[in-house]
Amino acid sequence: MTVEQSTKIAPPLPRHSRRTIAIGTFLLLLVATGLITYIAFGYMLTRKPIAALLPLPRISALQQTTPPIYAGVISKLAGPMSIAVSPDGERVYVAESDGERVVKVFNPSGNLLQTLSPPNTSAGQRKPMYIAVDKNGRVFVSDRQRPAVHMYDDKGAWIGVYQPEEAEKDWSPLGLNVQSDGSLIVTNVEGNAHSVLVFARNERLIRRITHPLTGDKLSFPNGAVQDSLGRTYVSDSNNGRLLTFDSTGAVVGQIESTDAKAGLAMPRGVALDDDGRLYVADASSDLVRVFQTGEKLEYLYSFGSTGVDSGQFRFPNGVTVDSKGRIWVADWGNNRVQMWRY
């Protein structure tokens, strides 16, 4: 006996159901079209690049394994010794040791905004060396000719000379660095006892750093900066080494010229970025060396080479990192300042 299987055919949807589905589909398409139009119209109004609308995540120092790349230049300078940038990143200060011996102020595009110099002085009576800027935009400039540290407000007006008690004795300020707490680090190269001095906001001396070993001295330290752990990194220039001091003044780290991988020839300016990377301008080697700070300095990489082309240096003397992460290098021998970025 054969059993026949019946096939059931679904009845057609009622006319009112088909109408409901069509209306729903139309409404969905209308909403999607409106949303796309709204986004496109907003984009046209703001005219922001895609990178601004969808910012890329910041690469941390632990992730960053490649050096920064060359990104721009301010040229036609006269022996730029050092560089600093205002907190908002819009004013770039360059100390010229030749020519008129002034501090020139540029915007990041390289347009000259103004020049700074102590009042009633000529080029032969001043020689700006290193610059530091505090969080309020106040500018400090060391002057090897006088010697002194001049101060300017955030608009470039001269407001006086930095006058701690030490300025009345052995005082020849060179390297400068302002810390996040407002304290000012000054490398003092007067006489035979070169040192690093740390001053509170009220110009009171709160710390003096010298080499603790008998018979071993600092020789023309050009830069000093302190990290979040209280360690102070000093470029001991004429001794060709980078020293790390802890909060007690003990030497807890040292990188010398004999180091096969990270050896320094003539370290000058130093700077720290927000990720704890330490940048050292190695003047005689025509490059900038980069270290990771922490319990122990770790050499990461260097950037630059000898020459006159873009991305090359001739006696780089100063380095700084601005609030936007841009790295600025005073390329003294090429009479220019270079900007690098990751």
Measured distance CA(198)–CA(224) in Å, rounded: 10
Average of per-residue pLDDT across 155-175: 93
Residue 317 Rama label (left phi>0; alpha psi -120 to 50; beta): alpha
Instruction: State whether 122 and 26 are in the same domain.
Output: no
Are 25 and 142 in a shared domain? Answer: no
Residues 35 and 163 in one domain: no
Q: Are residue 34 and residue 179 in the same domain, yes or no?
A: no
**Tokens standing for residue 331:** 């390329």
The pLDDT score that the predictor gives to residue 212 is: 86
> Same domain, yes or no, for 41 and 91?
no
- pLDDT at site 33: 65
Q: 68-77, 104-113, 256-265, 289-298: which has the minimum mean pLDDT?
A: 256-265
| pLDDT, average across residues 215-231 | 94
- To the nearest whole number, what is the mean pLDDT of the chain? 87
Confirm whether 109 is domain-assigned: yes
Residues 120 and 206 in one domain: yes
Assigned domain for 82 exists: yes
Question: Which range, of 197-201, 213-217, 245-249, averages the lowest pLDDT?
Answer: 213-217
Span 111-130, average pLDDT: 98
Q: 14-18, 64-68, 85-89, 189-193: which range is least confident on average?
A: 14-18
% of the chain residues with pLDDT over 90 = 73
> Once rounded to an integer, what is the mean pLDDT over residues 49-58?
38
Same domain, 75 and 199: yes
| Cβ atoms of 233 and 281 closer than 8 Å | no
Task: List the structure tokens of 257.
Answer: 């010229």
Domain count, the chain: 2
Parent domain of 247: 69-341
Same domain, yes or no: 121 and 151: yes
Question: What is the C-alpha to C-alpha distance for residues 240 and 296, in angstroms, rounded to an integer?
Answer: 19
CA 2 to chain centre: 90
| 48 and 79, same domain (yes or no) | no
pTM exceeding 0.85 = no
- Between strands 277-282 and 298-303, the pairing is unpaired
Q: Which pLDDT does position 192 carry in this prediction?
A: 87
Q: Which residue has the higher pLDDT, 7 or 19?
A: 19
Residue 223 and residue 276 in one domain:
yes
Distance of alpha carbon 115 from alpha carbon 257, whole angstroms? 37
pLDDT at 319: 98
Instruction: Flag whether 282 is in a domain.
Output: yes
- pLDDT of 44 above 60: no
Residue 269 identity: G
Same domain? 26 vs 133? no
Say whether both 138 and 42 belong to one domain. Answer: no
At residue 63's C-alpha, the angle toward residues 58 and 66, to 5°, is 100
Q: What secondary structure letter does DSSP report for 31? A: H
What confidence score (pLDDT) does residue 37 get? 59
CATH number at residue 210: 2.120.10.30
Q: Pairing between strand 205-209 and 92-96? A: unpaired
Distance set, CA 9 to CA 6, 12, 14 (Å)? 10, 9, 15
Does 59 fall in a domain?
Answer: no
Maximum mean pLDDT: which of 64-68, 157-161, 214-218 = 157-161
Cα-Cα-Cα-Cα dihedral sign, residues 194, 218, 162, 107: positive
For residue 12, tell me if it sits in a domain: no
